[in-house]
Structure 1
Amino acid sequence: MFLWGQPTDMRKSFDGLYTLARSGFAVDPLQGHLFVFANRRGTQIKVLYFDRSGWCVWSKRLEAGRFIRDWRHVTQREIDPTALKMLLEGIEPTRRYKRYCLLPAEADMARC
């Protein structure tokens, strides 16, 4: 599964999305990979894939909210099924950092 890192014209269908997938990723689109595209406002997503008998395009448009809130943080990359599910549910995956605690001897001076 691959996420296209730029806003896409949602008037594109099979051939237009295939051209983007073929030119933008280092994989063969005919191998069954899923390619995810979103519009500029982040309210619509199209998924393109090949299922051995032909091309399929799946589309979802939100009535309220956005799939992608800020395009500055979106990069063209491979995503896992969990990230795709989170994207389709409107959950933005952000990097969380581990909270560090002090050792017990240092914890007296600064509460952890």
Structure 2
Amino acid sequence: MIGFDHQARIWLCTEPTDMRKSFNGLSALVRNQLKHNPLNGQYFVFVNRRKTQMKVLYFTPTGYCLWAKRLEQGQFRVQPTSKGQKLLTPAGLQLLIDGIEVQKYRQFKRFKGA
């Protein structure tokens, strides 16, 4: 798995995406459809209509990076949302990639130091 910056936001595009798109096409989707700046260091996750392929686009100081995964069996569990996007945690993305769906969870309060 790629090493994620734990301070960066991870946005999942819940609308199906054409996986023929590469750097320019996906960055245009980020600007026009998701209304984000693709150059600000956030991660953008896209899944195709059949939910068998995933691409993650992000920008580093030296240029764009594109990570891709194609499933041989099964599907990524992506539920459409009214906003067309969903904020994920790094752990949430890892669960999505690994095919694990959490039905119900409870997160307990933790101390946050200054």
Q: How does the TM-score come out when normalised to structure 1?
A: 0.76
Q: Which residue of 2 aligns with 1:29?
A: 38
One of 90, 97, 102 as aligned partner of 1:81: 90
Which residue, out of 47, 51, 64, partners 2:60? 51
Deviation string, structure 1 residues 84-105 (Cα, Å, up to 9, x no partner): 00011011343x278xxxxxxx
Q: Distance in 2 between matches of 1:88 and 1:19?
A: 24
- The aligned length equals 94
Report the RMSD for the aligned CA atoms in angstroms.
1.7
Deviations 1:40-89 (A, max 9, x none): 11010000000111111100001111112xx6x33211111111000110
Q: Which structure shows the bigger proportion of residues in helix conformation?
A: 1
Distance 2:46 2:91 in 1: 17
The corresponding residue for 1:90 is 99
Percentage of identical aligned residues = 50
Deviation of 1:20 after TM superposition, in Å, equals 0.6
Give the corresponding residue for 1:63: 72
Normalising by the residue count of structure 2, what TM-score does the alignment of the two structures yield?
0.75
Where in structure 2 are there 5+ consecutive unaligned residues? Answer: 1-9, 107-114
Letter paired with 2:14: G
Q: Distance in 2 between matches of 1:48 and 1:37?
A: 8
Name which one, 1 or 2, has greater alpha-carbon Rg. 1
